[in-house]
Amino acid sequence: MTYFIFVMLVALILGLIAVASNPTPYFAALGLVVAAGVGCGILVSSGGSFLSLVLFLIYLGGMLVVFAYSAALAAEPFPEAWGSRSVMGYVLIYFVGVMLAAGVFWGEWHEGSWFLVDGLKEFSLLRGDVGGVAMMYSFGGWMLVICAWVLLLTLLVVLELTRGLSRGALRVV
């Protein structure tokens, strides 16, 4: 199980590097989907199946709609592909940065502290992830309101950035 989680963490890092390094939205969408899917898989392997499902549906359902809209408005006739030099340069820089950070924090890595959410199930009445969702709604209501405002602000920023020369979707592509 430890090797499986390690492979999923490496895939998560590669997906995040793919999103961060590619300036073209078409090819970065694949990295975004991989990163979201693998991140939710890591949550499932730790026992948080309900939280993983909710995050996957909200993130891929909501944010990819905004992403697809902005990609449609920012259409490029010749987008930069994975093999171009600028993209590979960014990939190399981010990969070296991740390796340096891993070298710095390698001594603090304790895989023995991993345990499932239901590892202490004899002391609780509910599953760990369902109890966490209840706590999020009861004590973190103001945080949900802030997150909703941040998502609205993100939507407005993306729409403003992809607006073009103040003609919106009516501009000539």
- The answer, yes or no, to whether residue 42 has pLDDT greater than 80, is yes
Contacts of 171 (CB under 8 A, 6+ apart): 164, 165
Predicted confidence band at 96 (pLDDT cuts at 50, 70, 90)? Answer: very high
Question: Hey, which of 25-34, 67-76, 88-97, 147-156 has the most confident mean pLDDT?
Answer: 88-97
**What is the model's pLDDT at position 127?**
62
Reading the block at residue 83, the tokens are 């093999």
**What is the model's pLDDT at position 50?**
76
Domains along the chain with CATH numbers: 2-170 (1.20.120)
SS3 114: coil
**What is the model's pLDDT at position 131?**
65
DSSP 33-90: HHHHHHHHHHHHHTT-HHHHHHHHHHIIIIIHHHHHHHHHHT--SS---TTSHHHHHH
**What is the model's pLDDT at position 40?**
87
Q: How many residues does the chain have?
A: 173
pLDDT digit string, tens, across residues 62-93 = 777 767 776 776 666 777 777 788 888 888 99
pLDDT digit string, tens, across residues 114-142 = 666 556 666 656 566 666 667 767 777 78
Mean pLDDT, rounded, of the chain: 75
Can you tell me the distance from the alpha carbon of 113 to that of 109, in angstroms, rounded to the nearest whole number?
9
